[in-house]
Chains A and B, each alone.
Chain A
Amino acid sequence: MDFLNNGGDPIFDVKDLCFAYNDQISALDHIDLTIHPGEKLAILGSNGSGKSTLLKILDGLYFPTSGRIKAFGQDLTEQALRDDRFNFDFRSRVGFVFQDSDAQLFMPSVWDEIAFGPLQLGVDEAEVARRVESALLALHIEKLRDRPPHQLSGGEKKRVALASVLSLSPVVWMLDEPSAGLDPRSVSWLKDFILAQGKAGKTVVLSTHDLAIVEATADRVYVLDEKHQIIAESTPGKILSDRSLLIKANLVSK
Chain B
Amino acid sequence: MSQSSQPAHSKSRSGFIERTLVDINNTLEQSIFAEKIARQKGLLQALDPRLKVIAMLMLLFAVSLSHQLAVIAALYVCALLLAAVSAVPLGFFLKRVWVLIPFFTGIIALPALFITPGPTLLSLPLGIVITRTGAMTALFLLLRVGTSVSFATLFVLSTPWNNVLKAMGILRVPDVIVLVLGMTYRYIHLLLHIANDMFLSRKSRILRRMSGAEERRLIAATSGTLLGKSLQLSSEVYLAMESRGYRGYPRTMDRFRMHWFDWAAALVVSFVTAAAIWLGR
Interface residues of A (CB under 8 A from B): 56, 59, 61, 87-88, 91-92, 94-96, 98, 100, 102-109, 111-112, 115-117, 119-122, 125, 128-129, 146, 148-151, 164-165, 168
Contacts and interface: CB of A to CB of B under 8 A. Distances in A.
Main secondary structure of the interface of B (DSSP, over half): helix
B106 interface: no
B56 to A, nearest CB: 20
A61 B193 CA distance: 28
B233 interface: yes
B186 A146 contact: no
Interface stretch (B89-97, B113-121, B236-244): B236-244
Contacts of A151: 32, 35
A1 B86 CA distance: 54
Contact of A88 (B39, B236, B239, B245): B245
A165 B35 CA distance: 27
B184 to A, nearest CB: 10
B161 A91 contact: no
Nearest to B181: A108
B236 A100 contact: yes
A129 to B, nearest CB: 8
Nearest to A122: B251
Interface string B223-249: 000000000010011011111111100
A125 B237 contact: no
Main secondary structure of the interface of A (DSSP, over half): helix
A94 to B, nearest CB: 8
B240 A106 contact: yes
B244 A116 contact: yes
Nearest to B162: A108
A168 B162 contact: no
A77 to B, nearest CB: 15
Contact of B243 (A59, A102, A108, A129): A59
A120 B251 contact: yes
B37 to A, nearest CB: 14
A108 B165 contact: yes
A111 B255 contact: yes
